[in-house]
Structure 1
Amino acid sequence: MKFAAVDIGSNAIRMQITSISLYEGVTKFKKLEYLRFPLRLGLDVFHNQKISDINRRKFVKLMKAFKILIDLYEVDDYMACATSAMRESSNGKKIALEVKEEIGLKINIIDGNKEAELINKSLNKFFDEKTYLHIDVGGGSTELNIYKNREKVVSKSFQIGSVRALEDKVAGPVWTAMENFVIKHLQHSSKVISIGTGGNINKIFELSLPRKNKRYLDYQKIDEVLAYLQTLSFDERVHKLNLNHDRADVIIPAGKIYQRAMKVANSHQMIVPDLGLKDGIIQVLYERHIAKKPL
């Protein structure tokens, strides 16, 4: 079986093709292809409420390239999901329709709750009886999910994201709403473990020089990495640390969003599993395929 996931975010667009096989009772997921293209749709939308014509043309070309790869790999199923930028854009639905009619690729413009639900599909193995705050920071939105005793208690999406914060497009009351949400649902929890997903926290983890086979970050270590990044210019982040241009400018505001949520939750440790929306989509496609098979 082969499945394809397309994650259309505010800062970049990703495609992953995964093969899934069953051998001696063990299900194995193997990544066959992964592409990330730095098309910052959020910059258009957060300033002008619509995707510009130049980015619309680039987007359509990119979807055509993705569709060619999907066809070449002969995948069994695919799902393309668009998040904050396209759902807030006045012409997002029109562009999605254009892609469907011209290329034959269906795009699902999903809300924040659906986005969180898909991301959480890939995280189930990390939950136990402890209390967890899952923080997913994208370019345009942040999804918070709280788990207790292996069950999701509550989730909420906030218009707080790395690109939005970089452009100073996050209103004060939105920050307050996020903090109040965390306080309301975690104020009586003695120990909260955070789980961080998103490209920026993965890069912060990488820069922290983690110990082998450890996927944990302490709050203090995040602080140290951000402090170091702030001593570097944009060009130094690109050339000394080899960061992509579209990562070098948003990594600090993104890191501060993770820190803000952790601080309010009094959480001192974060698991960084290197999973996200694309992985959740693959899981959903696999479950859908299994459900269709006769018993």
Structure 2
Amino acid sequence: MKFAAVDIGSNAVRLQVTQIHYFQGQHTFKKLEYLRFPLRLGKDVFLNQQISEENQYKFKELMKAFYILIRLYGVNDYMACATSAMREARNGKSLVKEVREEIGLKITIIDGNKEAELINKSLGSHIDGKTYLHLDVGGGSTELNVFKKGEKVAAKSFQMGSVRTLNQELPQAVLQQMKRFIDRHLLGEKTVYGIGTGGNINKVFDLSAPQKRTNYLSIEKMREVLALLERHSNEEKLNLLQLNEDRADVIVPATKIYLAAFDAARIQRIKVPELGLKDGMLLQLFERNRNKQEQR
């Protein structure tokens, strides 16, 4: 079976095509294609509450290209999910409708809870009986999830993200809301473990020069990377640190959000599994289609 996931975020749009192999009683996921296009829909929406004509055009052209690839790969099923920027844009629903009518690609605008649910689906193998705080910082929103004894016990989406807070201080009111959520669900816990997902934390992890075969990042090392980033201009980040243009300006506010949450939970080290929304979408596609096969 082949599946495709289209993740329409506030800072970029991603497509992944994956093939599922079944061998000796085990299913394995093999990535066939991965594309990330830097289309910053959030820049329009968080300032003007709508997607500009220029970005509407680019978005439609990108969806045409992605849908061609989806058909060429002959996928059995696909999901296309749009998050914070599209759901807040006054013209988001009409743009999604135009894409369906003109191109044929079906896009679902999901809320913060559904976004968190899909991201959590990809974390299954990383959650055990300990207490975890999982944080996913996107361009427009930040999702927090608390796990205890292998079960999710609390979740909340906060209207604070790397694009939304670009060139401004993190909103104190939202930070206080986040801290109250963490205190309410984790105060009194002897040890809390952290998990960070999202493109920015993945890049922070890379910049920390990790040892081979580890996906752990200390909070101390995260602070060092933040200090390194803040010492460089955007031009220096592009040329000296080799960051992409659409990563160079948002990585600092994103890192500050991660640190604010993990500090509030008194976490000293986090796991960075390099998973995200698209991985949860692919797992949901697999579960949906496996159930169909079993019912035949």
TM-score scaled to structure 1, two decimals? 0.98
- Deviation of the 1:294 alpha carbon: 2.9
User: How big is each residue's C-alpha offset from its partner over 1:173-206, in whole Å with a ceiling of 9 and x where there is no partner?
Assistant: 2221111111111101111111000000000001
CA distance in structure 1 between the partners assigned to 2:168 and 2:139 by the alignment = 12
> Counterpart in 2 of 1:17?
17
RMSD: 1.0
After superposing the two structures, state which structure 1 stretch, 112-121 or 224-233, moved more.
224-233
Please give the secondary structure, in 2, of the residue aligned with 1:163.
coil
> Counterpart in 2 of 1:275?
275
Does the 8 Å contact 1:46/1:169 carry over to 2? no
- Deviation of the 1:170 alpha carbon: 5.5
Percent of counterpart pairs with the same letter? 60
After superposing the two structures, state which structure 1 stretch, 30-39 or 168-177, moved more.
168-177
- Deviation of the 1:167 alpha carbon: 4.0
Number of aligned residue pairs: give it. Answer: 295
> Counterpart in 2 of 1:69?
69
**What pairs with 1:22-33 in structure 2 (closer than 5 Å)?**
22-33=22-33
**What pairs with 1:185-200 in structure 2 (closer than 5 Å)?**
185-200=185-200
Does the 8 Å contact 2:16/2:278 carry over to 1? yes
**What pairs with 1:151-230 in structure 2 (closer than 5 Å)?**
151-168=151-168, 171-230=171-230
Please give the secondary structure, in 2, of the residue aligned with 1:164.
coil
Q: Which amino acid aligns with 1:57?
A: Y
Q: Which amino acid aligns with 1:219?
A: I
CA distance in structure 1 between the partners assigned to 2:287 and 2:215 by the alignment = 26
TM-score scaled to structure 2, two decimals? 0.98
**What pairs with 1:1-295 in structure 2 (closer than 5 Å)?**
1-168=1-168, 171-294=171-294
Gap regions ≥5 residues in structure 1? none
- Deviation of the 1:171 alpha carbon: 3.8
- Deviation of the 1:20 alpha carbon: 0.5
Q: Which amino acid aligns with 1:8?
A: I
Give every structure 1 segment of 4 or more consecutive aligned residues whose post-TM-superposition deviation is greater than 3 Å: none
After superposing the two structures, state which structure 1 stretch, 197-206 or 176-185, moved more.
176-185
CA distance in structure 1 between the partners assigned to 2:170 and 2:202 by the alignment = 23
CA distance in structure 2 between the partners assigned to 1:175 and 1:270 by the alignment = 20
- Deviation of the 1:135 alpha carbon: 0.1
Q: Which amino acid aligns with 1:41?
A: L
Gap regions ≥5 residues in structure 2? none
User: How big is each residue's C-alpha offset from its partner over 1:67-102, in whole Å with a ceiling of 9 and x where there is no partner?
Assistant: 000000000000000000000110000000000000
